Structures are given as structure tokens and as C-alpha cells.
């Protein structure tokens, strides 16, 4: 029935077959008339028919001859009629939709909400998970990191000498490129700009297959001489130069230089995050190795296509050994490692479940579509009478279906257009929910047109296909029955209502499951953003000093330098420069075992922590993994680590006074559970000195995201006074509201004021920020889901209940006439509607429980079965459901029985 | 109206003549196909249509050229029949081509009746 109906609706009145039949009829008519004439003239009927046929000729050939004459005209006519009918259908559809403004608004609303939210969400998820990284051969690019045995987790930078040795020695690498980054103040025109400079060597551009979009990149000679030339980013070109192509050969003022602009980088290029300008790395002085070591660069390499990462890593360790042993390089003991630079950036930051978001988006799409299907079903039932009247007036079924289709198409068209606009808007609104400039360079959020096209297509297809079902239902009827005024309209339409309610139950189930999932995720975000890390480091720079020459051999002399730097950093002038509110502090990693040399000499360091000298109770290193820090008096203050009990370090803690230790709460509890740790002693290794516990501070947490879910455990820390332990490599921590980039660029000047020959490297603390940020992004996405789902459910519920009330006007009128109070009517309708709402709720809870098992891993500090979330979701949906039923119920209670009985 | 020119092939001579006769048959009002065939039979007194059916491709051709209009209606004995009526364009063709045909037919007839081999 369906296919035939659709075909009849689509092909027009003048089918070819139709024309053929007409011709055949005409020809047959002629033969019959001739036969009749012959009979009238006295011939026998049988021979008259034979004679008539003989005189007529070959009917098939004649029919074909006629047909070939008719075809051109038929074609023209078909087109014309089709066009006229189409216009007519659309005019009719517009009128019909105008007559039902409520229905139209609700369907359009549903479609627009559906298209906009699904598109926006898909766009975001796509940019996070699947958009190809904006770098050529991203998977083969690795970053080289150097580390020293003493500080196992540091240093992404090496000296240029190491970089060139890597380029020379490593067979596994196709290319090795050194780069470094700096932030400078630039003046372009009259405007000051904060410029992120990327300084690279000549291998960088080929490694990334980077080309200038206009002009050129630095030439080999310019790279070798470190010429003052640069290529500016597309963004700077457009914002500061208005996209003027005469920008080439102009100069801009950066720092103390006036480099020449030679080209414009392609749009969207940023490495490792933002890049405003790219220029040649200053070349190392080739002769003097010791000064060459003062400069450090980051190193990128591109693996040969046929080399596995493991093979490259093996070669790298061999080369690292060779570099270490080469006395000419003076690098000291280093190990080199590599990590997939580009892939890591993505993997470290995203929540490892694209399927979660895709699943949620699909659910939302389903909800929107089922909502529309419900409404269409209800409307089809509602229009049975109208259809019957039109059918009785001669409109064919095909025509009725065609008009229903026209309505769907019109709705879909308007919804598609508005939905596209709305999704663009939604993406803008969502972007505004995030702080600017925090996106990783590879994420370029924006409305994805392919995603939009896909969503619109899905929604429209579903609308039209689903819209056709009610149209077919609505046109299949028994004319006389449907026309019987007020007869069994109720019975017929109750089928439609039942189908609509079934759909609505499923839809409610889906949206409550979605809501619960979103609720859990939003709580995860809240929990992540509320983690008290126990310290604040957003504005703190961790500055290390490279003591590579022979002038600072002893730990004491190195500490002295660091202390001098910190002291100068405490000056009014410096703090004004970086807008620092606290004085710089010192920290050093490493084992603070001033007198533990014997243990070290024996072999493996003794990591045992021995509380109160009680070797029996000695807590093995693997049981309590305390991290040891040597810090100065200002450390806790600078990082805002709060004291819990006892005291922090002060002037009393000097080399010659009693060795003291400050514990983190975690460590204190591990070592002395249910005791006051103050006054107890802690020995580090069997031969270490005993440190007296003088204070306890709050725990410090780390937050990691990534593929294994969230982790924000407290760490067990032991803090020693930097004056009482042998320090390895003191760092200066500097805090200031000028921003970490600014502080990092200023620090070398501070260091130079102590010793001009020293070189520094800087980093930031607080690695939790990106994880928190990404969690926030996804929190916003899931929140959007939840709200959209709830909205759609309310729309659907309202629509169905309102329709049900409309259908029962007569019945309700009778009830009122028989004395039912309006409270009674409201109660009746609400309680009847709640029956299927509760069914949806029950199914939804089961769905949510099942889904919760799947996404447990992305939750943080909230159970997948969190009762509060479930309760809130149930309560909210019930409340909203009651509201959605209550309004139509109120209207029903206000029905005037007289007019209700008269109508229909 | 190129098919009305006299320079056409021999096939078109017959076609043209049939077209003109059909148009002429309709000058007294709409007829259905059989009615036209009857009129031609009576009016020409000869079997102009070797096969009566050949009338119909001609009718459809005239309809395509909009020289006649068509409409389905009920015939005298209440049967459905397709009626043809001459259109204004058809009248114009009839008016302009009839004299040409007179001369043409005359010429052919004269030629065919002549007995002298040498007309000079």
C-alpha cells in the first residue's frame, strides 16, 4: 500500500500508461462505431466486427504512432502540472500549518532544538576526537626529552649541541629540528602586541611541510646566520595588518629588534600552542662548547616511515649513552626519551570516551525525532475528519498524501534553515562558556558544516519518513464512518493516541537516561573544578638554573646562587615588574639526605622511612612513597599550602640547629596513625639523620585525566629545610599576576643580575589546569544535552496531553455537565497522563543503570549509581511532567459543556 | 509550419491533404474521430483513408501542432468519446492552404488527363 500510494502521490495524473489507455480507448471506440454502422447496414455482428477491424488497420502500430505524436505535449503538460500541483500543495501546506500554530510551533521548536544541539555537540566532539591534527604526518612526529638521573621527570630541553648530534647520529629519524619559544612585546603600527615567537632551525619547515601562504619562510642562509627576519601568523596578518599583502618587507618592532617580515604563515598553524611569528633560531657559537651549552632548545624529530617507535627508542638510548660519554660535550649524565608529540597532546587531554558523547547525541536525535513523530501522529488523527471531507469531495488518496508530504517538507525546510542558524548561535554561546585562549592549538572549535549537513539530513529524512506514516494512517479510513459527526472519532483516534503515548514513553525513558548521565558528568566537572589541590600555582613560574660550568661545584655554592636570585627577586623593583604579591621561594627535588653518604655509597639508595628510629616499624619505600622536597621558609606561603599543626620553617632552621621536617597530612597519618606526629622523629634511610617533625601541612593533590580516568590523590610529602639538607638543584619559584609567560621572559634578566653566564629554564606548576579545562568543556556539552533532552520531553509531553484533552472535549463536557468539579477533572487528566510518564521513568532508570556501567571510568568522585542524581532526575521529571499535564488539564476543566457538546 | 510548404517529400503530400481535409471536416463543429472519418468518406466520395486508423495519428499530430483542440465528452448514445474542434490556428492554415491545394490538385489532374506528349 505504502509504496504504491507514494508513487501515485509523486507521479502525476498524466502517466504514460494513462495516455496509452486513452488512445486505445479512442481507437477501440472508432472500431466499435464502424461495426455498429455495418450492423445497422444489415451485416451480421461477427462479420461486422471483423470487417471494421480490417478496415481500421493495425491498432498497435496506430497506437504507437499516436503516442509518438502525443509524447512531447505530454511531457510539457506533466512538467507544468507538476509545478502547478507542487505550488498548490505548498500553498495548501502553508494554510494548513497556519491554521495550527501550536502544532507548527511545537514541531519547529523540537526540530530546531534537536538540530542545533546535536550539531553543536557533534562539532565539539569531532574537533576533539577526530579532526585530523593540523600537522603533516602528525603520528610520526616525536618530541625528545632529556632527563638526569637525579631528577627523573624533568627537562624537555637540551643543548643545541645535543640536538645537532641527534640530527647527525640518529638513523631512525628522517629529520631533527630544534626550536624554542619566547614571548615578546611587539609594537605593530602604534599598537603594543604580546607576541608568541617560535624560533626554529632550518629543518622545522620541511618537518611540518610548512609553507608560507604569501611571501616565504626564512632561507637556509638566513637560518644559518640567524637573520632578523620572520614570518607572521595569519591571525596577526589579518588583525594587525588587515590582511594587506604589502606587509612583506615591512618591519615590526619586537623587543630590541626590528625584524623584517618576509612571509605569512598558513592559517591555523600554531606550535606548540599559539604562534604569532616564526623566525630563525639564533645559531649557537660553534667553537666554544661551554657557552653553547648555555643555550637550550627543544627538539622534535620525525620518524622514518618504516621505523617503529620501539626501534627508534632503542637507538636513542644508544646515542644518549654516546653523548653522555663524549667529554667534549660536557652534558653530564642524561638519558633521552621520546614521546609522540602530537598524539600525546590529544590523548592527554580528552576524556577517553567519544562514544559517550556520540551515544548521547544519538539519543537526543532519537528523542527529537520521536517527539516529532508523536506530534505528527496526533495531528494525523486530529485531521481524520478533514481528510474524510476532502476525500468525499473527490481528492484522491495520492493527493492527500502528497499534501501531507508537502507539509512535512515545508516544516523540515524551515526547521533545517532555522536549526542551522540556531546551531551556529549555540556554538558561539558554548564557546563563550569557556575562557578564551585556553584551547589546545590543535582544537579549532567552530560549527562543522559537514556535521551540520549530516544532522539536518538525518532530521529531515526522519521527519519526512515518519511524517508519511501518520499521513498514510490518516488517509486510510472508512469514509462513511469518519464522516459520522461525533460518531466514533474517539475510537479511531484513540489508536493514534495510544501509539503517541507509546512513543512518548520511550522518549521519556531516553531523556531521563540522558539526563542522569549528564547529571553524573556535570557533577564530575563540579567535583574536578572543586578539587582543593592544597596549593595555588596558576601564576607561578618554576625557574631552574643550569649550573653547567665548573664554577659552581658544591651544592652550597649553587644554593647560594639560588638564594641570591630569590633575594633579588624579592626586591620592590622586580616585584613591581611582575606584579608579585609574595617573595620568591626556593625548592629542590631529590633525596635530602645530608649525611646519608654511606648508604648511597653501598649501592642502591635506602628509601626506607624510619619513624622514631624504630627500624622494626621502618616503612619500606614501596609501602609509603613519600616525595621529598627541600624548601625554604617562604615556600608554603608562596604556594598557599596551609599549616595544620606545629610550625613551618623559619630562621631557627639552620644548618647547625636541630634537623626538622614538615609532613603532609597524608604522610603524617601513614606514619603515625591516630597520634600527634609533632615531636616524633623521622629517619631517612638506615644511616640518615633523624629529623624531628615540627609541623604538618595540608595535602597537595595532583590531577590527571586521560585514558585511565581521573585521579586526584593526595601525595605523601616530606618537606625539609633547604638549609639543613644537601640540595641537588635548587629552583626558584616566582609568583606574579603579570602572568607566567611574562615572568618566564623576565627571569633571565633577574638571573643575569647575579651571574651573567648562567642560563635558566622555566616551566609552570599546576598541571591540573588543562585537565580541569577539558572537563569543563565536556561538562558544558553534557549540560547542553541534559537541558535539550528535558526541553524536548516537556514539549512532547505537553503536545500529547494537550491533544488528548482536545479529543475528549465532549466526554469532559459531559462530565462537567453531570457535576464534576474542575479539581476532579484536573486530577483525572493529570493522573491518567502520569501513568505513562511513570512507565517511561521506570524504563529510563533501568537504561541509566545499564549505561552507568559503561561510563564509570569518566566519572570523578561520583558513583555511576549516585542515588542523589537518580532522585533529582526522577523528581525533576515528575514535576515537569505534572506541569506539562497540568496546563492542558486546566484548560479542560474550563471547558464549557454546552459548546463542547455542540461542536463536532 | 514548415510541414505546410509545398517543397516537402511525397509522403507529406498525402499527409498535408489529409490534414486539410480533417480541418475542413471540423469547420461545422467538433466531431469525434469516427465522425470525421464518416465525413471524409462522404465528402470525398472515395476511399481517401486506405486504413481508417491512419486518421488517428493525423489527428494527434494536429493536436500537437495545436491546430485542433481535444476534449473528452459524451457522444449521442451516451458513450465516452474524444472530440476534436478546430482551433483558430487550424482555421488560419485551412484558409491559407486551401487555395494552394486547389491549384496543386488542379495541376496534377490536368497533367494526368493530358494526352499530348509534346505540350509546346
Give B26's pLDDT tier (boundaries 50, 70, 90).
very high
Mean pLDDT of chain A: 77
Q: What φ, ψ does residue A666 adopt, rounded to 5°?
A: -55, -50
Give A780's pLDDT tier (boundaries 50, 70, 90).
confident
Lowest mean pLDDT across A184-193, A242-251, A805-814: A184-193
From the list B52, B55, B79, the residue facing A29 with the nearest CB is: B79
pLDDT at A47 (0 to 100): 93
- List, as ranges, residues 74-113 from B with C-beta within 8 Å of A: 79-82
Mean pLDDT of chain B: 82
For A122, A303, A441, A705, A771, the CA distances from A347, given in Å and listed in that order, are: 19, 19, 14, 9, 11
pLDDT at A1 (0 to 100): 39
Distance, in Å, from the CA atom of B46 to the CA atom of B40, rounded to the nearest integer, reads 8
pLDDT at A706 (0 to 100): 52
Lowest mean pLDDT across A487-491, A608-612, A868-872, B45-49: A487-491
Give A4's pLDDT tier (boundaries 50, 70, 90).
low
Give A799's pLDDT tier (boundaries 50, 70, 90).
confident
pLDDT at A398 (0 to 100): 72
pLDDT at A293 (0 to 100): 46
Cross-chain Cβ contact B56/A33 below 8 Å? no
Q: Which residue has the cell 491559407?
A: B96
Q: What pLDDT digit, counting tens, does each position of A450-469 carry?
A: 777 887 787 778 777 766 66
Q: What pLDDT digit, counting tens, does each position of A266-297 carry?
A: 877 777 767 888 999 887 655 544 444 456 77
Give A851's pLDDT tier (boundaries 50, 70, 90).
confident
CB A807 within 8 A of CB A490: yes
CB A859 within 8 A of CB A530: no
Q: Is B104 helix (H, G, I), strand (E, B) or coil?
A: helix
Distance, in Å, from the CA atom of A649 to the CA atom of A651, rounded to the nearest integer, reads 7
Q: What pLDDT digit, counting tens, does each position of A133-162 carry?
A: 666 677 788 888 776 654 444 456 677 777
pLDDT at A343 (0 to 100): 55
| All three cell numbers of A531 | 578539587
pLDDT at B92 (0 to 100): 93
B61 to chain A, any CB pair closer than 8 A? The answer is yes
Q: What φ, ψ does residue B32 adopt, rounded to 5°?
A: -90, 175
Please give the average per-residue pLDDT across A877-899, as a whole number: 81
Please give the average per-residue pLDDT across A1-13, as a whole number: 47
Q: Is the pLDDT of residue A603 over 50?
A: no
Chain B positions in Cβ-Cβ contact with residue A58 (cut-off 8 Å): 51, 53
Residue A69 C-alpha, separation from nearest chain B C-alpha, in angstroms: 5
From the list B53, B63, B64, the residue facing A27 with the nearest CB is: B53
Report the relative pairing of strands A717-721 and A627-631 from DSSP bridges. Answer: parallel
Chain A positions in Cβ-Cβ contact with residue B32 (cut-off 8 Å): 29
- Which of A57, A54, A23 has its CA nearest to residue A38? A54
Enumerate chain A positions whose Cβ falls within 8 A of a Cβ in B: 22-23, 25-27, 29-30, 33-34, 37, 55-59, 62, 65-66, 69-70, 72-73
Number of A–B residue contacts, CB under 8 Å: 66
Please give the average per-residue pLDDT across A93-122, as a whole number: 83
pLDDT at A50 (0 to 100): 93
Burial label, A3 (beta-carbon count in 10 A; 0-12, 13-18, 19+): exposed
Lowest mean pLDDT across A77-86, A436-445, A816-825: A436-445
Residues 6+ apart with CB under 8 A from A281: A160, A178, A179, A180, A199, A200, A201, A223, A226, A297
Question: When comparing pLDDT for A4 and A795, which is higher?
Answer: A795
Residue of A nearest to B53 (CA): A56
Please give the average per-residue pLDDT across B48-54, as a whole number: 78
pLDDT at A346 (0 to 100): 53
Cross-chain Cβ contact A66/B57 below 8 Å? yes
Residues 6+ apart with CB under 8 A from A52: A31, A32, A34, A35, A38
From the list B52, B63, B82, the residue facing A56 with the nearest CB is: B52
pLDDT at A697 (0 to 100): 92
| All three cell numbers of A393 | 469531495
Q: Is the pLDDT of residue A335 over 60?
A: yes
Question: When comparing pLDDT for A206 and A128, which is higher?
Answer: A206
Q: Is A437 left (phi over 0), alpha (psi -120 to 50) or beta?
A: left
pLDDT at A592 (0 to 100): 39
Please give the average per-residue pLDDT across A786-802, as a whole number: 78
CB A616 within 8 A of CB A672: no
Buried b (16+ CB within 10 A) or exposed e, A647-662: ebbeeebeeeeebbbb
Q: What pLDDT digit, counting tens, does each position of B53-79 carry?
A: 889 999 999 998 889 998 888 877 788
Chain A positions in Cβ-Cβ contact with residue B82 (cut-off 8 Å): 22, 25-26, 29
Residue of B nearest to A71 (CA): B64
Residue B118 C-alpha, separation from nearest chain A C-alpha, in angstroms: 42
Cross-chain Cβ contact A30/B54 below 8 Å? no
Cα angle A605-A669-A698, degrees, rounded to a multiple of 5: 95
CB A167 within 8 A of CB A297: no
| All three cell numbers of B30 | 467538433
Chain B positions in Cβ-Cβ contact with residue A74 (cut-off 8 Å): none
Q: Which residue has the cell 455482428?
A: A45
Cross-chain Cβ contact A26/B82 below 8 Å? yes
Distance, in Å, from the CA atom of A739 to the CA atom of A3, rounded to the nearest integer, reads 68
- Count of alpha carbons within 13 angstroms of residue A541, beta-carbon side: 25
Question: When comparing pLDDT for A769 and A19, which is higher?
Answer: A19
Lowest mean pLDDT across A92-106, A600-614, B81-95: A600-614
Specify the pTM: 0.54
Cross-chain Cβ contact B34/A34 below 8 Å? yes
B32 to chain A, any CB pair closer than 8 A? The answer is yes
Distance, in Å, from the CA atom of A318 to the CA atom of A326, rounded to the nearest integer, reads 13
| Share of residues in chain A with pLDDT > 90 (%) | 6
Cross-chain Cβ contact B52/A73 below 8 Å? no
Cross-chain Cβ contact B81/A29 below 8 Å? yes
Give A771's pLDDT tier (boundaries 50, 70, 90).
low
Q: Is the pLDDT of residue A886 over 90?
A: no
CB A765 within 8 A of CB A537: yes
| All three cell numbers of A727 | 640540595
Q: Is the pLDDT of residue A680 over 80?
A: yes
Lowest mean pLDDT across A389-393, A582-586, A790-794: A389-393
Q: 3-state DSSP helix/strand/coil percent for chain A, to nearest 5?
A: 55, 15, 30
| Share of residues in chain A with pLDDT > 70 (%) | 77
Q: Is the pLDDT of residue A565 over 70?
A: yes
From the list A27, A33, A72, the residue facing B56 with the nearest CB is: A27
Q: Is the pLDDT of residue A420 over 80?
A: yes
Q: What pLDDT digit, counting tens, does each position of A858-881 carry?
A: 777 788 888 888 998 889 888 888
Cross-chain Cβ contact A73/B57 below 8 Å? no
Amino acid at each position: 500500500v505504502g509504496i504504491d500510494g507514494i508513487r501515485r502521490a509523486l507521479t502525476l495524473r498524466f502517466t504514460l500508461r494513462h495516455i496509452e489507455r486513452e488512445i486505445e480507448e479512442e481507437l477501440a471506440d472508432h472500431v466499435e462505431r464502424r461495426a455498429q454502422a455495418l450492423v445497422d447496414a444489415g451485416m451480421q455482428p461477427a462479420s461486422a466486427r471483423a470487417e471494421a477491424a480490417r478496415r481500421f488497420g493495425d491498432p498497435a502500430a496506430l497506437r504507437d504512432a499516436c503516442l509518438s505524436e502525443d509524447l512531447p505535449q505530454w511531457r510539457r503538460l506533466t512538467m507544468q502540472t507538476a509545478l502547478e500541483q507542487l505550488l498548490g500543495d505548498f500553498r495548501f501546506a502553508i494554510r494548513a500549518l497556519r491554521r495550527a500554530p501550536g502544532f507548527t510551533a511545537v514541531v519547529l521548536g523540537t526540530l530546531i532544538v534537536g538540530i542545533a544541539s546535536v550539531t553543536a555537540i557533534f562539532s565539539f566532539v569531532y574537533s576533539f576526537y577526530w579532526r585530523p591534527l593540523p600537522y603533516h604526518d602528525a603520528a610520526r612526529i616525536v618530541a625528545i626529552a632529556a632527563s638526569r638521573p637525579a631528577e627523573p621527570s624533568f627537562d624537555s630541553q637540551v643543548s643545541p649541541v645535543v640536538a645537532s648530534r641527534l640530527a647527525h647520529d640518529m638513523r631512525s629519524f628522517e629529520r631533527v629540528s630544534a626550536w624554542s619559544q619566547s614571548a615578546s612585546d611587539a609594537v605593530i603600527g602604534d599598537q603594543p602586541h604580546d607576541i608568541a615567537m617560535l624560533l626554529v632551525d632550518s629543518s622545522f619547515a620541511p618537518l611540518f611541510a610548512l609553507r608560507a601562504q604569501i611571501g616565504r619562510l626564512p632561507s637556509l642562509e638566513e637560518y644559518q646566520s640567524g637573520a632578523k627576519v620572520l614570518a607572521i601568523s595569519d591571525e596577526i596578518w589579518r588583525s594587525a595588518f588587515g590582511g594587506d599583502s604589502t606587509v612583506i618587507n615591512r618591519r615590526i618592532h619586537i623587543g630590541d629588534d626590528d625584524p623584517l617580515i618576509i612571509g605569512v604563515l598558513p592559517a591555523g598553524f600554531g606550535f606548540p600552542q599559539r604562534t604569532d611569528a616564526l623566525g630563525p633560531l639564533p645559531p649557537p657559537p660553534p667553537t666554544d662548547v661551554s657557552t653553547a651549552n648555555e643555550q637550550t632548545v627543544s627538539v622534535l624529530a620525525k620518524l622514518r616511515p618504516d621505523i617503529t617507535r620501539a626501534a627508534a627508542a632503542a637507538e636513542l638510548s644508544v646515542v644518549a649513552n654516546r653523548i653522555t660519554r663524549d667529554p667534549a660535550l660536557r652534558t653530564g649524565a642524561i638519558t633521552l626519551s621520546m614521546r609522540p608529540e602530537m598524539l600525546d597532546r590529544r590523548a592527554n587531554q580528552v576524556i577517553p570516551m567519544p562514544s559517550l558523547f556520540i551515544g548521547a547525541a544519538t539519543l537526543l536525535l532519537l528523542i527529537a525525532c520521536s517527539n516529532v513523530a508523536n506530534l505528527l501522529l496526533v495531528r494525523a488523527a486530529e485531521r481524520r475528519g478533514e481528510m474524510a471531507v476532502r476525500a468525499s469531495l473527490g481528492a484522491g488518496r495520492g493527493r492527500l498524501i502528497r499534501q501531507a508530504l508537502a507539509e512535512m517538507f515545508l516544516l523540515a525546510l524551515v526547521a533545517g534553515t532555522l536549526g542551522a542558524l540556531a546551531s551556529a548561535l549555540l556554538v558561539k554561546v558554548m564557546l563563550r562558556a569557556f575562557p578564551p585562549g585556553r584551547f589546545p592549538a590543535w582544537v579549532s572549535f567552530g560549527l562543522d558544516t559537514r556535521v551540520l549537513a549530516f544532522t539536518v539530513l538525518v532530521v529531515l529524512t526522519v521527519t519526512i519518513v515518519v511524517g508519511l506514516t501518520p499521513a498514510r494512517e490518516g488517509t486510510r479510513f472508512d469514509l462513511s464512518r469518519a464522516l459520522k459527526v461525533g460518531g466514533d472519532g474517539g475510537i479511531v483516534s484513540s489508536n493514534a493516541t495510544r501509539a503517541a503515548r507509546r512513543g512518548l514513553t520511550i522518549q521519556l525513558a531516553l531523556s531521563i537516561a540522558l539526563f542522569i548521565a549528564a547529571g553524573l558528568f556535570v557533577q564530575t566537572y563540579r567535583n574536578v573544578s572543586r578539587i582543593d589541590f592544597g596549593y595555588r600555582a596558576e601564576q607561578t613560574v618554576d625557574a631552574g638554573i643550569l649550573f653547567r660550568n665548573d664554577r659552581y661545584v658544591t651544592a652550597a655554592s649553587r644554593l647560594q646562587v639560588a638564594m641570591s636570585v630569590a633575594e633579588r627577586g624579592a626586591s620592590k623593583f622586580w616585584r613591581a615588574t611582575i606584579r608579585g604579591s609574595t617573595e620568591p621561594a626556593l625548592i629542590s627535588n631529590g633525596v635530602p639526605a645530608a649525611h646519608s653518604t654511606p648508604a648511597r655509597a653501598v649501592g642502591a639508595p635506602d628509601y626506607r622511612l624510619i619513624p622514631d628510629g624504630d627500624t622494626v616499624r621502618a616503612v619500606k619505600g614501596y609501602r609509603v612513597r613519600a616525595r621529598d622536597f627541600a624548601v625554604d621558609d617562604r615556600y608554603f606561603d608562596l604556594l598557599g599550602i596551609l599549616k595544620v599543626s606545629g610550625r613551618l620553617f623559619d630562621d631557627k632552621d639552620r644548618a647547625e640547629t636541630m634537623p626538622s621536617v614538615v609532613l603532609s597530612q597524608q604522610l603524617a597519618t601513614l606514619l603515625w596513625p591516630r597520634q600527634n606526629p609533632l615531636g616524633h622523629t623521622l629517619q631517612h634511610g638506615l644511616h640518615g639523620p633523624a629529623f624531628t617533625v615540627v609541623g604538618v601541612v595540608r595535602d597537595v593533590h595532583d590531577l590527571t585525566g586521560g585514558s585511565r580516568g581521573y585521579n586526584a590523590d593526595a601525595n605523601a610529602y616530606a618537606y625539609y629545610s633547604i638549609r639543613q639538607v644537601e640540595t641537588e638543584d635548587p629552583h626558584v619559584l616566582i609568583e606574579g599576576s603579570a602572568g607566567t609567560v611574562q615572568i618566564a621572559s623576565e627571569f633571565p634578566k633577574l638571573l643575569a643580575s647575579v651571574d651573567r653566564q648562567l642560563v635558566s629554564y622555566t616551566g609552570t606548576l599546576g598541571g591540573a589546569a588543562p585537565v580541569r579545562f577539558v572537563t569543563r568543556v565536556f561538562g558544558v556539552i553534557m549540560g547542553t544535552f541534559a537541558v535539550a533532552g528535558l526541553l524536548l520531553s516537556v514539549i512532547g509531553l505537553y503536545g500529547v496531553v494537550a491533544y488528548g484533552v482536545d479529543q475528549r472535549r465532549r466526554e469532559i463536557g459531559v462530565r462537567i455537565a453531570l457535576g464534576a468539579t474542575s479539581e476532579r477533572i484536573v486530577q483525572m487528566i493529570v493522573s491518567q497522563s502520569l501513568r505513562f510518564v511513570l512507565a517511561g521513568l521506570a524504563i529510563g532508570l533501568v537504561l541509566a543503570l545499564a549505561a552507568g556501567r559503561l561510563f564509570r571510568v569518566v566519572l570523578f568522585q561520583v558513583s555511576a549509581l549516585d542515588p542523589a542524581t537518580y532522585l533529582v532526575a526522577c523528581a525533576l521529571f515528575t514535576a515537569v511532567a505534572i506541569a506539562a499535564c497540568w496546563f492542558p488539564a486546566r484548560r479542560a476543566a474550563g471547558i464549557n459543556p454546552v459548546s463542547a457538546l455542540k461542536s463536532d | 509550419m514548415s510541414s505546410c510548404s509545398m517543397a516537402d517529400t511525397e509522403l507529406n503530400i498525402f499527409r498535408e491533404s489529409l490534414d486539410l481535409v480533417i480541418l475542413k471536416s471540423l469547420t461545422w463543429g467538433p466531431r469525434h474521430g469516427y465522425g470525421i472519418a464518416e465525413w471524409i468518406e462522404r465528402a470525398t466520395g472515395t476511399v481517401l483513408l486506405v486504413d481508417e486508423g491512419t486518421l488517428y495519428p493525423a489527428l494527434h499530430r494536429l493536436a500537437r501542432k495545436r491546430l485542433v483542440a481535444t476534449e473528452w465528452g459524451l457522444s449521442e448514445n451516451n458513450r465516452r468519446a474524444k472530440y476534436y474542434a478546430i482551433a483558430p490556428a487550424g482555421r488560419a492554415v485551412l484558409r491559407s492552404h486551401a487555395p494552394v491545394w486547389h491549384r496543386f490538385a488542379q495541376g496534377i489532374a490536368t497533367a494526368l488527363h493530358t494526352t499530348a506528349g509534346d505540350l509546346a
